[in-house]
């Protein structure tokens, strides 16, 4: 029987963090991040192998994660390995950098060493595996101060998947290309994450109703608009409009229950210009629904004899959760958000 691999204590923490990010639960990540520790500049081959073993579990972890949270997926789905041929995920040194940065904790306590926070950046483009780990790290640190610090790091902001899942946390327009997420393994990752993406976008939609600072809402809207615009254009270009289905799943319950993304608590001392811009920005997800509605109209025109008839039929069925009536309601909300603001009588001092 082979002897268990021996690693240093700091390496054991790195391995534990990789396992916790991949397999959860988030409490394990929280426990690991409670203390800061010094990490040597290199890791042993045994530690590298064990981290590699943990990363090899990413696919099943993604599948499990997509089905947890607020509930099961809306519709029964085949396991993704039944729908797709096996495809490997590659990881680069950026994943190790990410693990070390999260674990080192120096960024969380920049004053500890009397210096500035160490930036997390990568000179090489991120692989899809790296992007998945960035996504999982942002997910596992939800509700912790480190998530905001992580979201500000150049390496994280260069991950298109991070933008897709956490546009509300990253803020500002993205410069990422989304085409790699619409083909090959990238498309499978997005497909698997779709229920989680829908939950996250719906939660952001509800949160924006309570935002008071117009600048915050404008930044959030810019991020969401650039992400949805870029991603849906990429889906269209790749012939994979179905990948944008999470937009429907995020918006459908809100449209159904008439929960408009009207910002109800905007700071009344802000200028009317900034409040109007904030109201327009609040409609980012509705603009995604409007894009889907335009696609839906096009799908209705696809004839039985056309090559893409089966795809159009599938997408028509997909959009039924919102339906043309729901799309009209979303359109009316967008009009309301963009209209001249009305002020209840007696609330304005016009002296």
Partner 1 sequence: MSRAIQVRVSESLTRTVHVEDGVVAPLELLPILPPARMAALLAHELAARGFRRDGRRCTRTEPDGLEVTLDLEAATVAVALGAHVQLDEAVELSAAVAVESDDQARAALRDRAHEVLGDRLAARTFALQRAVTARLEAKVAALKRELDAAIGRATVAALTEKAAELGRIEETHLDEAGNLTIRVRL
Interface residues with partner 1 (CB under 8 A) are 269-273, 276, 335, 338-343, 348-351
CB of 342 to partner 1, least distance (A): 6
Q: With respect to partner 1, which residue has the nearer C-beta, 78 or 340? A: 340
CB of 330 to partner 1, least distance (A): 16
Residues 6+ apart with CB under 8 A from 37: 10, 13, 103, 104, 105
Q: With respect to partner 1, which residue has the nearer C-beta, 12 or 294? A: 294
CB of 298 to partner 1, least distance (A): 21
Residue 327 in contact with residue 290, Cβ under 8 Å? yes
Rounded Cα distance, 191 and 80, in Å:
8
Rounded Cα distance, 86 and 185, in Å:
9
DSSP 41-84: S---HHHHHHHHHHHTTHHHHHHHHHH-SSSS-SS----HHHHS
CA-only gyration radius of the chain, Å: 22
Q: With respect to partner 1, which residue has the nearer C-beta, 156 or 266? A: 266
- CA triple 128-88-14, angle to 5 deg: 65
Q: With respect to partner 1, which residue has the nearer C-beta, 274 or 323? A: 274
Q: With respect to partner 1, which residue has the nearer C-beta, 124 or 350? A: 350
Q: With respect to partner 1, which residue has the nearer C-beta, 106 or 279? A: 279
Q: Which residue in the block uniquely carries the two structure tokens 């290309």?
A: 177
CB of 209 to partner 1, least distance (A): 21
CB of 278 to partner 1, least distance (A): 12
Q: With respect to partner 1, which residue has the nearer C-beta, 129 or 214? A: 214
Residue 120 in contact with residue 98, Cβ under 8 Å? yes
Residue 181 in contact with residue 161, Cβ under 8 Å? yes
Q: With respect to partner 1, which residue has the nearer C-beta, 8 or 270? A: 270
CB of 266 to partner 1, least distance (A): 12
Token output for 114: 């009397």
CB of 287 to partner 1, least distance (A): 14
CA distances from 161 to 44, 123, 286 (A): 30, 18, 21
Residue 241 in contact with residue 294, Cβ under 8 Å? no
Outline where the chain has alpha helix (H).
9-23, 26-33, 45-55, 58-67, 80-83, 93-104, 128-140, 145-151, 154-157, 160-170, 184-207, 214-237, 245-256, 272-281, 284-300, 309-319, 323-338
DSSP-derived letter for residue 304 is: T
Asked if the bond preceding 213 is cis, omega within 30° of 0, the reply is: no
CB of 343 to partner 1, least distance (A): 5
CB of 200 to partner 1, least distance (A): 30
Instruction: Give which of 162, 160, 111, 121 is closest to 141, Cα–Cα.
Output: 162
Q: With respect to partner 1, which residue has the nearer C-beta, 317 or 339? A: 339
Cα maximum dimension of the chain? 87
């Amino acid at each position: 029987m082979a002897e268990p691999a021996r690693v240093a204590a700091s390496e054991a923490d790195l391995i534990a963090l990789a396992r916790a990010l991949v397999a959860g639960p988030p409490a394990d990540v929280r426990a690991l991040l409670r203390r800061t520790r010094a990490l040597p500049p290199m890791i042993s081959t045994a530690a590298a192998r064990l981290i590699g073993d943990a990363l090899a579990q990413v696919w099943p972890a993604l599948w499990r994660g997509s089905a947890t949270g607020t509930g099961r997926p809306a519709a029964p789905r085949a396991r993704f390995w039944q729908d797709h041929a096996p495809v490997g995920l590659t990881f680069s040194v950026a994943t190790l950098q990410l693990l070390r940065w999260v674990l080192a904790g120096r960024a969380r306590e920049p004053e500890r060493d009397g210096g500035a926070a160490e930036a997390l950046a990568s000179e090489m483009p991120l692989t899809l595996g790296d992007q998945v780990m960035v996504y999982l790290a942002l997910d596992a640190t939800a509700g912790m101060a480190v998530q905001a610090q992580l979201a500000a790091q150049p390496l994280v902001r260069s991950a298109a998947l991070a933008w897709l899942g956490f546009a509300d946390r990253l803020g500002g327009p993205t410069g990422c290309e989304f085409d790699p997420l619409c083909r090959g393994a990238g498309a499978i990752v997005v497909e698997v994450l779709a229920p989680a993406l829908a939950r996250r976008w719906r939660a952001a939609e509800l949160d924006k109703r309570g935002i008071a600072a117009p600048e915050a809402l404008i930044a959030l809207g810019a991020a969401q608009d650039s992400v949805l615009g870029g991603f849906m254009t990429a889906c269209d270009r790749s012939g994979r409009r179905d990948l944008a289905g999470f937009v429907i799943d995020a918006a459908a319950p809100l449209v159904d229950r008439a929960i408009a993304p009207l910002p109800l608590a905007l700071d009344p001392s802000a200028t009317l210009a900034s409040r109007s811009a904030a109201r327009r920005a609040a409609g980012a997800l509705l603009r995604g629904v409007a894009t889907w509605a335009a696609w839906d109209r096009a799908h209705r025109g696809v004839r039985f004899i056309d090559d893409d008839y089966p795809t159009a039929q599938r997408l028509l069925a997909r959009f039924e959760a919102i339906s043309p009536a729901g799309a009209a309601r979303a359109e009316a909300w967008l009009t309301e958000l963009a209209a001249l603001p009305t002020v209840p009588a007696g609330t304005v001092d016009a002296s």
